[in-house]
A and B are shown apart, each in its own frame.
Chain A
């Protein structure tokens, strides 16, 4: 309840900020005016804005060779998006000049009275209007088709679902001052439109800054902290408001783009995905702003977030445009581009990306909550990373066994990255000294076992140092196993991404193979090593060495199988 009250107030604050609302209005207006103009430039090289009404927005040539095509012609004429021009022969020249978006050839064989499958040929130029033309023609053809099928059914009781099919042909090159017109047009759809759709999230920095750092700077946060609500609900309320506002902005823009006749192939999917991206960026910006000491520092922190994000967006869209690959669809920027063009878009990938975005958002919100719970953060003195880490460990371990398990899982990214760095360094050292030999391989494999077994003990070491009464031998083994599971998840994700790129093997398959082998080894070895660390002394050392040997033997077996 209090989260909603906070969210409501935050929205009121944004709406009451005249400068911000003015900027939003001007941007939206400019977008709606300029984007179609860009479309026209890339499509046909002229700067004319489309007519404000959509009536007859798309000029389409029609070449009629058949004398029995009334139903189809009626349907085409009734389509308010099309403006029809009749030609006696294929108007290739007009198409090349960009006078028409495409032309529809109704061949002599097309006879609505006959019982054969009918076919028309749609020849398209490149560009936005040709996409709209295709969409409109398919709509008219479907309508005509169902009417013809209905006629036939009533006359002859034939059960035909569809009577007419459209064969599409693309005119590859529309020349616009020496450059490939089609390329420019697809550039417009797969590059410019997605870029524009990301603007609201880049502009979200202003509202986030005002909502968090501004609240702290003006000291209004003190009355919120004194009010009967949890600090958590301040974060969640603000997040809801900011997310809602930025996503509404995206929705308005998407709608505007649709009204302007720019064909976004999957508008709903694009909206959902953009909302997911907005959530992550806003949550991250909120955590960063909270961690900053002042408005100025928060400004710099947000710049450090948004600038690389923007560069990343440009880079991702460029890669998507020039050399699209399946793997790139996992990058949200690329996936938006695919949702706009409709090419190479998959709902399965969308779901996976949304899950990842959701997970990231939750992590950032959890961080923001942890930060706002700290008095030093709220009252403007920023604690160092080391202190934050130590306090977080203290809090988690204070929560008992479950907290210890959570600590082990949460530390796994750190453990994994450190392990990879050490392993790569050692591998380079061995190959440098011994060349690419069997000896170097075996040494590397053994070093991996040592590095990973020791590093996976890190969470338990932290726990043992803080000395908790619940930390028995059994609990230590469980923390070891949890650390190993976290490590396994990180490893699988990293290896999974690599094999997906190189071999195209999906993650699920890999997960099954590894869960039945590597996971068992990791948890077993780490539990033994954890017991060793808990016991210390001679027996402890023996157990840790045993764990390392187990890991090394497993690694050797894997190397034998692979090589």
Chain B
């Protein structure tokens, strides 16, 4: 026996989200265990961002429920949100604030203790200490993303939710970020949403493929490949697996 029990951290139970007559997510059922690095992949409009927003309490499910450490996001939203660090797809930051002001504001919302020290520490971590008092409006996309990451880590959350974290970043910054996320494996529960398959394969322990609002496959990358490959054939690439499950999404 291994001597420890895997603990479910995130659970989607038949979650559906509808906007009028558009169903963004259909009956999503998914569990992610503590310390896992789970990647959600899928073509544009597959419902990845919707799933992430439902987990972070940014959206409310039309039916079904999302729980985090056993707590219902819809009911215990405030407590759940304290456990989650959320990096949205667009680094949406207040342009007129400086990184320090911005982090102070969020520190007060999250009730971070010793905010001053924590902010210094995080600004150093993302390499933005020298820009701490410059207005965000003057920053490049990469710099904004760094501030956004600092914001997501501010309250030292147990769960990190990253929506397309490397999109639009230069290769060097993207690599730095991937290395950082990779370092979190086992320490934090990470839900990563991406449409870079190599990124997902490189980082995650498990992945799920979303297509037209449905979870069409989930498992370890090698499991998914093996499942599709069958006996006597060369193991397919993850790209081929993805293409297989999302066929007909274009054209």
Residues of A within 8 A of B (CB): 2, 5-6, 8-9, 12-13, 16-17, 218-223, 225-230, 375-376, 379, 381, 383
Contact = CB atoms under 8 A, between A and B. Distances in A.
Contacts of A218: 92, 95
Interface stretch (B83-91, B189-197, B198-206): B83-91
10 A-B pairs closest in CB distance: A219-B92, A228-B81, A16-B96, A226-B86, A5-B108, A225-B58, A227-B109, A228-B78, A220-B92, A226-B56
Given A16-B97, A376-B20, A227 B92 contact: no
B129 interface: no
A293 to B, nearest CB: 13
Given A226-B86, A228-B82, 15 more contacts: A2-B108, A2-B109, A5-B109, A8-B108, A12-B97, A13-B94, A218-B95, A221-B92, A222-B53, A223-B86, A223-B92, A225-B58, A226-B56, A226-B81, A228-B78
B211 interface: no
A147 B117 CA distance: 65
A376 B50 CA distance: 12
B10 to A, nearest CB: 15
B57 A225 contact: yes
A187 B60 CA distance: 56
Given A222-B88, A226-B56, A375-B59, A13 B78 contact: no
Contacts of A8: 105, 108
A379 B96 CA distance: 23
A376 B17 CA distance: 11
B78 A229 contact: yes
Question: Which residue, A13, A223, A381, has most C-beta atoms of chain B within 10 A?
Answer: A223
A220 B109 contact: no
Contacts of A13: 94, 96-97
B79 interface: yes
Interface string B158-196: 000000000000000000000000000000000000000
Given A5-B105, A13-B94, A222-B58, A227 B110 contact: yes
A227 B20 CA distance: 26
Contacts of B4: none
B59 to A, nearest CB: 5
A227 B81 contact: yes
Interface in B70-120: 77-79, 81-82, 84, 86, 88, 90, 92-97, 101, 105-106, 108-111
Contact of B101 (A2, A12, A17): A12
Nearest to A374: B60
A220 B96 CA distance: 12
B157 to A, nearest CB: 10
B151 interface: yes
Query: Which of B19, B57, B60, B96 lies at the interface centre, i.e. has the most chain A CB atoms within 10 A of its CB?
Result: B96
A315 B70 CA distance: 60
30 contacts: A2-B108, A2-B109, A5-B105, A5-B109, A8-B105, A8-B108, A12-B101, A13-B96, A218-B92, A218-B95, A219-B88, A219-B90, A219-B92, A220-B92, A220-B93, A221-B92, A223-B86, A223-B92, A226-B58, A226-B81, A227-B81, A227-B109, A228-B77, A228-B110, A228-B111, A230-B77, A230-B78, A375-B19, A375-B59, A381-B19
Contact of B19 (A221, A222, A376): A376
Contacts of B60: 375
B93 to A, nearest CB: 7
A210 B82 CA distance: 28
A148 to B, nearest CB: 61
Contacts of A383: 20
A219 B81 CA distance: 18
Contacts of B86: 223, 226
A225 B81 CA distance: 9
Interface residues of B, number: 31
B24 to A, nearest CB: 10
Contacts of A222: 53, 58, 88, 90, 92
B94 to A, nearest CB: 6
A143 to B, nearest CB: 53
Interface string B132-164: 000000000000000000010000000000000
B84 A226 contact: yes
A383 B21 CA distance: 12
A13 B60 CA distance: 29
A230 B74 CA distance: 11
Which of A12, A17, A219, A222 is packed against the most chain B CB atoms within 10 Å? Answer: A222
A379 B20 CA distance: 12
Contacts of A225: 56-58
Interface string B11-53: 0000000011000000000000000000000000000000001
A358 B90 CA distance: 39
Nearest to A17: B96
Nearest to B163: A222
Nearest to B107: A5
Contacts of B90: 219, 222
Contacts of B111: 228
Contacts of B20: 376, 381, 383
A223 B97 contact: no
A9 B97 CA distance: 9
Nearest to B93: A220
Contact of B88 (A5, A9, A226, A228): A226
Contacts of B97: 9, 12-13, 16
A259 B81 CA distance: 51
A225 B110 CA distance: 12
Contacts of A228: 77-79, 81-82, 109-111
B73 to A, nearest CB: 11
A12 B88 CA distance: 23
Contacts of A375: 19, 59-60
Contacts of B92: 218-223
A25 B106 CA distance: 30
Given A218-B95, A228-B110, A375-B59, A223 B101 contact: no
A218 B90 CA distance: 9
Given A226-B84, A375-B59, A9 B105 contact: yes
A219 B93 CA distance: 8
Contacts of A227: 81, 106, 109-110
Nearest to B52: A226
A545 to B, nearest CB: 43
A211 to B, nearest CB: 11
